[in-house]
Every structure is written in structure tokens, then in C-alpha cells.
């Protein structure tokens, strides 16, 4: 005959661990009402909370279902219109020049002492920001440029 535990069901280790894994809002209070050491209660609560957090975040971050694209027939007129509306991507040199100016300004910060030094650094930052703001919004570099300009 199996040995019956003298503890209530909610005080037994298997129920506490099971509820921590399957239902953290139930498992955490059961854990804290148990006679476990404080370090075990804290680590069990943190791990169970992280498990709940990851399961909730993972459930909302599902990718969108793939869309089936139907092939389109393009006439010479639609091809001509599309080619007129396309703006070429910003030349990488403008983006790279802005990064070079910003990097030079950052490197000069620790050695700046006079107001002339600070003026040169400010001018480099302004130049970098101006170059980033000149990149068209439909460019491949637009999102990166706007993030760096801010």
C-alpha cells in the first residue's frame, strides 16, 4: 500500500512544481505558502514568471500567414509608369559621409578643450544630420538615416 503524505495537496512538491510550470498565477502563491527556503521561493517565482512572460509574448508574436500572390500581366504602359515613379535609392556615399562625420565628431569629444574645438565638433554633427535628412524617404537607407538623425 502506498505511503500517504501527511501534507495537504497544495503543500506537496509535485503539485507546487506542476502548477509553477502549467499555471504560474496559481503556482507562485502556492510556492510562497509552502515551507521552502526563501531562495527557492524567489528563484521559483522568477523562473515561473519568465516562463509565463515568454509564453504570452510568443503567443502574440506569431508571423502573419503567407499571402498567395497572383501573377500580374504588365503592359508596356504600366512598365513605363512604374519606372517613372521609382526614385533611385540614396547613394551609399551620402549615408557613409554622414556616418564618417558623426564618427569624427564622436572621436573628437574627449580631446575638445577650447570653444573652437567645440565649434568644429558641432559643425561635424550638423553636417552629419544634414546629410542624413537629405536622404529621400523612399530610399533603402531612409529608415536607418532617420533613426540616426534623431
The sign of the torsion formed by the CA atoms of 91, 92, 95, 98 equals: negative
Q: What is the pLDDT of residue 90?
A: 47
Query: What 8-state DSSP symbol labels residue 137?
Result: T
pLDDT mean values, one per 10 residues, the chain (150 residues): 67 80 83 85 87 76 60 60 54 75 84 88 85 79 78
- Count of Cβ atoms closer than 10 Å to residue 146 Cβ: 13
Q: What is the pLDDT of residue 142?
A: 77
**2-41 exposure pattern, b = at least 16 Cβ within 10 A, e = fewer:** eeeeeeeeeeeeebbeebbeeebebbbebbeebebeeeeb
Q: What is the pLDDT of residue 100?
A: 83
Q: What is the pLDDT of residue 78?
A: 62
Boundaries of every domain in the chain: 9-60, 89-149
CA distance 136 to 132: 9
- The structure's pTM equals 0.39
Q: Which helix (H) or strand (E) holds 126?
A: helix 115-133
Residue 99 zone, left/alpha/beta (φ > 0; ψ -120 to 50; rest): alpha
Query: What 8-state DSSP symbol labels residue 140?
Result: T
Amino acid at each position: 500500500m502506498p505511503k500517504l503524505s501527511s501534507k495537504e495537496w497544495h503543500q506537496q512538491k509535485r503539485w507546487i512544481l506542476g502548477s509553477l510550470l502549467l499555471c504560474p498565477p496559481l503556482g507562485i502563491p502556492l510556492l510562497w505558502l509552502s515551507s521552502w527556503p526563501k531562495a527557492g521561493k524567489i528563484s521559483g517565482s522568477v523562473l515561473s514568471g519568465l516562463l509565463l512572460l515568454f509564453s504570452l509574448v510568443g503567443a502574440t508574436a506569431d508571423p502573419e500567414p503567407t499571402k498567395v500572390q497572383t501573377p500580374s500581366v504588365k503592359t508596356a504602359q504600366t512598365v513605363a509608369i512604374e519606372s517613372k515613379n521609382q526614385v533611385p535609392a540614396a547613394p551609399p556615399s551620402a549615408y557613409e559621409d554622414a556616418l564618417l562625420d558623426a564618427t569624427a565628431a564622436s572621436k573628437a569629444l574627449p580631446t575638445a578643450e577650447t570653444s573652437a574645438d567645440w565649434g568644429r565638433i558641432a559643425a561635424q554633427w550638423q553636417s552629419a544630420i544634414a546629410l542624413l535628412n537629405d536622404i529621400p524617404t523612399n530610399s533603402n537607407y531612409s529608415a536607418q538615416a532617420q533613426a540616426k538623425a534623431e
